[in-house]
């Protein structure tokens, strides 16, 4: 089990952990009914954190931010010599956490995506994680929530008896959601991005070898070029350039984690 704490990557605090450590921390919070915001962050999320100080503040106040992409793991290893053997891939983390929740008879709740995706996910997850209880599911409204709507969401999730919330709202909305909702829910809120679509079977995952060598982005770009072109063709090279400046000591990146918190912008 590897847990070497939070490390500064372009001003974003990423936890230098492996799967076992990440799962253990999430499960402990679920058992204790403790507020715990978590996200699996790839280059896209790191770069939004670089550009947006309020988003960076929220990321840096989550209890756990794991290196979802290989370039994020490489960055941690080069900058901080943490020797992580692998990334902590969001869809795989989702399955491992759900299996542990099933073993402990702790129910989960699904929030986000579209009704048809949630329907298929509710069928597929228990097949992949035998014994898993899904206490409820609610699709995204794809907009900001009013105060009354946020209270209704909190009440519905709490009254379901769930001990863990999986949020599939896409980056950066899901990290904002995790930051704002975990305290009200008193349970782990794990932002898992495309894991909903992958495990529902509505998106095809890249071959494992592409994930191992850091080419998953190329596979996803080939499937959704219009939506993902800017994310990968622009942000990836900028990430590598900024990482080089931090590695060479040419630039320092401020960790925005103190001061007044940003106002609430609850997405749902």
Whether 57 contacts 20, CB under 8 Å: no
Residue 46 located in a structural domain: yes
120 is a domain residue: yes
Q: What is the mean pLDDT of the chain?
A: 92
- Determine the structural domain holding residue 12 and report its residue range: 7-214+237-247
Q: Is residue 241 part of a domain?
A: yes
* Residue 266 resides in a domain: no
Where does the pLDDT of residue 256 fall: very low under 50, low under 70, confident under 90, or very high at 90 and above? low
Instruction: Give a yes or no: residue 81 inside a domain.
Output: yes
Q: Model-level pTM greater than 0.85?
A: yes
Domains held by the chain: number: 1
pLDDT of residue 258: 54
Provide long-range contacts, Cβ within 8 A and 24+ apart, for 205-214: 205/91, 211/70, 211/87, 211/89, 212/70, 213/70, 214/69, 214/70, 214/71, 214/74
Q: What is the DSSP letter of 166?
A: E
Confidence of residue 73 (pLDDT cuts 50, 70, 90): very high
pLDDT at site 263:
67
Banded pLDDT at 142 (limits 50, 70, 90): confident
């Amino acid at each position: 089990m590897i847990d070497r704490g939070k490390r500064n990557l372009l001003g974003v605090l990423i936890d230098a952990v492996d799967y076992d450590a990440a799962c253990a921390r999430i499960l402990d919070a679920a058992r204790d009914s403790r507020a715990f915001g978590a996200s699996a962050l790839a280059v896209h999320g790191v770069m939004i954190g670089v550009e947006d100080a309020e988003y960076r503040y929220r990321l840096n106040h989550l209890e756990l931010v794991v290196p979802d992409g290989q370039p994020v793991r490489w960055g941690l290893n080069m900058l901080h010599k943490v020797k992580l053997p692998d990334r902590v891939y969001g869809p795989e983390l989702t399955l491992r956490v759900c299996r542990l929740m099933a073993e402990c008879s702790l129910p989960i709740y699904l929030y986000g995506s579209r009704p048809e995706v949630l329907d298929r996910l509710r069928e597929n997850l228990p097949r992949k994680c035998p014994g898993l209880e899904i206490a409820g599911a609610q699709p995204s409204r794809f907009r900001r929530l009013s105060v009354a709507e946020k209270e209704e969401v909190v009440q519905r999730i709490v009254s379901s008896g769930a001990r863990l919330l999986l949020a599939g709202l896409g980056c950066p909305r899901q990290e904002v959601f995790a930051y704002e909702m975990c305290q009200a829910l008193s349970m782990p809120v794990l932002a898992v991005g495309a894991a909903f679509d992958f495990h529902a079977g509505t998106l095809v995952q890249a071959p494992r070898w592409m994930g191992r060598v850091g080419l998953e982005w190329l596979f996803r770009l080939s499937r959704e070029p219009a939506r993902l072109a800017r994310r990968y063709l622009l942000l990836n090279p900028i990430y590598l350039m900024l990482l080089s400046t931090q590695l060479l000591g040419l630039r320092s990146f401020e960790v925005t984690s103190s001061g007044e918190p940003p106002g609430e912008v609850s997405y749902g």
